[in-house]
Amino acid sequence: MLRRVDGFLASLRPPLDRISTRMAHVGGWLFILVAFYVSFDVIVRKFFGFTTKGADELSSYALAMGSTWGLAHVLLEKGHVRIDMVWSRCSARVKAYLNVLALFLLNFFVGLLVWKAWTMVVESVRIDAQAATPLSVRLVYPQGLWALGLTWFLLVGVLVMLQAIVLLAAGEIRRAAEEFGPVPLSEELEREMAAVAGVPADSRRAV
């Protein structure tokens, strides 16, 4: 039974991974576009004496959306910082339980953010909130995109946590310890060396 559940959860990973990667790409391109836009605004302000009057505001929206839309991808790629000074000295069983605890605490915190984010979106809809800026953007749009990124992050985080719990319950302690733990230092060094050499390294997924 547990192996079936594990297989089902594993079957969800590829589509979630693809969506998370595409969302991260959208966020990355947003940062690039905003960088060009802000640079353009600075140049025309300096040499031609006018401004688009929206660079600061739009860059803030892009930062909020782009950062949250990339969170799920970073989780799946083991990109979030985890301090493994104690973790690396523990037994496989303790590591597995610490991994589940870390994922639970992460999801709990993100769940609070999601709740507050959508509460704010609903309130913005109710009062038809608009930015007190020359652009007068209806705040429900940037807030909604920001909340969507957080919600997707929570969905992926819960799936990852369920996978770890199922492995623990099935007695696959070593898998639960290795697949959901932080990237070992040796593997990080291997990735960095491969990146410097321009050769893609085999990436062992976080979860």
Q: Could you tell me which of 105, 66, 113, 108 has the C-alpha nearest to residue 82? A: 105
For residues 110-139, give the mean pLDDT.
92
Does the pLDDT of residue 95 top 50, yes or no? yes
Structure tokens at 117: 């984010």
Other CB atoms within 10 A of residue 160 CB: 24
pLDDT per residue as tens digits for the range 43-57: 988 888 777 777 788
Distance of CA 119 to the CA centre of its chain: 21
Does the pLDDT of residue 152 top 60, yes or no? yes
Going from N- to C-terminal start, the domains of the chain cover: 2-197
Q: What is the DSSP string of 69-136?
A: HTHHHHHHTT-S----TTGGGS-HHHHHHHHHHHHHHHHHHHHHHHHHHHHHHHHHHHHT-B-SSTT-
pLDDT in the model for residue 77: 86
Model pTM? 0.84
Contacts of 181 (CB under 8 A, 6+ apart): 82, 84, 87, 95, 98, 99
Does the pLDDT of residue 70 top 80, yes or no? yes
